[in-house]
């Protein structure tokens, strides 16, 4: 019963962790945000496509997690 109640918050934490990885760029950790910034600086003529690609990659990771959370919530809903 406790496991069923922890699934939605756990998935939300995974999604937030994925989105907050860009904060690690402030601490000089190489990740998607830092790589995107470097590519944009090196290729000034295609900045928007680079930024849209980075945004799409974040969506590719977070949207399936959100959909999985919805499915798990429906499957293991706690009856009240």
- Residues 14-45: pLDDT tens digits? 878 777 766 665 555 567 777 888 899 999 89
pLDDT of residue 42: 93
Locate 64 and state its tokens.
């399936």
Q: What is the pTM of this model?
A: 0.58
Residue 1: pLDDT above 70? no
Express as a percent the part of the chain with pLDDT over 90.
15
pLDDT at 23 (0 to 100): 66
The DSSP 8-state label assigned to residue 24 in this structure reads G
Taking the C-alpha atoms of residue 45 and residue 68, their distance in angstroms, rounded to an integer, is: 38
Q: Which two tokens stand for residue 28?
A: 């000089």
Q: Residue 46: is its pLDDT beyond 80?
A: yes
């Amino acid at each position: 019963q406790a496991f069923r109640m922890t699934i939605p918050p756990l998935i939300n934490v995974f999604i937030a962790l994925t989105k907050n990885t860009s904060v690690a760029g402030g601490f000089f950790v190489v990740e998607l945000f830092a790589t995107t910034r470097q590519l944009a600086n090196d290729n000034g003529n295609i900045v928007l496509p680079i930024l849209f690609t980075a945004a799409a990659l974040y969506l590719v990771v977070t949207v399936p997690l959100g959909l999985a959370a919805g499915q798990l919530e429906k499957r293991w809903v706690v009856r009240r």
